[in-house]
Structure formats: C-alpha cells, structure tokens
Homo-oligomer: A and B are copies of this chain.
Amino acid sequence: MGEEVINGNILESTNPVVDIYPLSNYVFSSKQPLIHRDETLAERAQRMKANYGSYGLRTRVEAVLLVELLKHPHLLLLQVKNSFFKLPGGRLRPGESEIDGLKRKLSSKLSINEDGFDTKWEVGECLGKWWRPDFETIMYPYLPTSVRKPKECTKLFLVKLPMTQKFSVPKNLKMLAVPLFEIHENYKTYGSVIAGVPQLLSRFSFNVVEN
C-alpha cells in the first residue's frame, strides 16, 4: 500500500501496488503436451454433466499473471490450437483448497517439474468470480436469480510473479503476453472472462520494476 498525492488529493492508500517485471526477465521453454480431454463442445458438456452428477458444483481457479512490456502491463494467456485463449488454471479436486489447487494447476501447466517444487507461486487477491448456470459456455459475474443449481464457479486470482522465473509450456499450448489495451472489452477474441480482466485489475497500481 502506498500513499500517492495527485493535485493535492491524498489517495488514501486505496490502491494496492503490485510490482511487475519485464517480460525479458522470464524464460519460456516447452514440455510434453497436456492431454486434452475436451475434443468437442458436446463432449465437454457431456463430461461436465457426468462430473456434476458425481461431485456437484465444481470450482475452477484461474491465474492472472502479469509482465511488463513497452511500459504497459501484459497478461499471460494460453492459446489452444491457435484458436481460443484461456487463463492458466483448472478445476479443484474435491476437498482441495482454492490456493492449493491453483498452485497445483499452475505447476502442472507452467513449471518445469510438474510437482512444482522448482516454483513458488504467490497467490494473491481474488479478483472476481463467474458462474456457469448450466452446461453451456455462457457465464455471468453474478448468480442469475432463476438459477438454483449452478454447475460451475470460476474464481480469478492475481498471482504475483517473482523477478525472474522459468516457465515450461506444454507443446500443444502457446503462451502469449497480451497487452491490457488489446484485451479490454475485446469479448469476441478473448471471451467475457478474459476481456473483463483489465477492469478487475484497475483498482491496483502497477509498479514497473526495471532491471
């Protein structure tokens, strides 16, 4: 928390400050592809139904990872098959805590060693959550009134990267650093959840740490 003064108005430490580091501080390599269980939307819906039958409401956890490039925050996104984008993360196991689950998913997707002992993930603030009322793709940042049994809840967390880190990205995924100005309100390309991330981040101040 800092105290800024703009034009004599004391900004009462209302903006938590997040350090971000240049993209060039990070090293990216590739590793064995992750197996994609979801081949079609229909198959995915089918699997979600089966899982819901067994486990009830599932919680997904996803990470907002930021780097700096050209003095602007960039979001690290995974691109699947040169088409859709997703935040790194995944579903919790029954009984697993959100933070443990997010660390496990980040390690399996982005660490050199899948057990993640080479990476310390610092899971920070919850930025927002989205509800999936049924087994379709559409999600809402609130629980629609007509929905008594939501099928999935996705929670976004700010994950603070250290000054340097090695990432290892599965070969069937591509990792991209995308500027916030490209993502903001760009629902068509990134979908509602990702397109809203710049707004969710707007309460933070970013401190670009130069080398």
Instruction: Mark A residues whose CB is within 8 Å of B.
Output: 6-12, 14-15, 55-59, 70-73, 92, 94-99, 101, 125-130, 140-142, 144-145, 153, 155, 157, 180-181, 184-185, 187, 192, 196, 198-203
Contact = CB atoms under 8 A, between A and B. Distances in A.
12 contacts: A8-B94, A9-B96, A11-B98, A12-B99, A14-B125, A73-B142, A129-B202, A129-B203, A141-B198, A142-B180, A196-B199, A199-B200
Contact of A8 (B95, B129, B155, B203): B95
B15 A129 contact: yes
Q: Is the interface of A mostly helix, strand, loop or mixed?
A: mixed
Contacts of A73: 142
Contacts of A129: 15, 202-203
A67 to B, nearest CB: 14
B141 A94 contact: no
Contacts of A98: 9-12, 14
A145 B203 CA distance: 18
A203 B127 contact: yes
B94 A181 contact: no
The 3 A-B pairs of least Cβ separation, nearest first, read: A141-B202, A14-B126, A128-B202
Contacts of A196: 196, 199
A157 B203 CA distance: 10
Given A7-B58, A128-B199, A142-B198, 19 more contacts: A7-B57, A8-B94, A9-B92, A11-B59, A11-B98, A12-B99, A14-B98, A14-B126, A14-B155, A15-B129, A72-B142, A72-B145, A127-B203, A128-B202, A140-B184, A141-B201, A142-B180, A144-B181, A196-B196
Contact of A59 (B9, B99, B187): B9
Nearest to A91: B9
Nearest to A99: B12
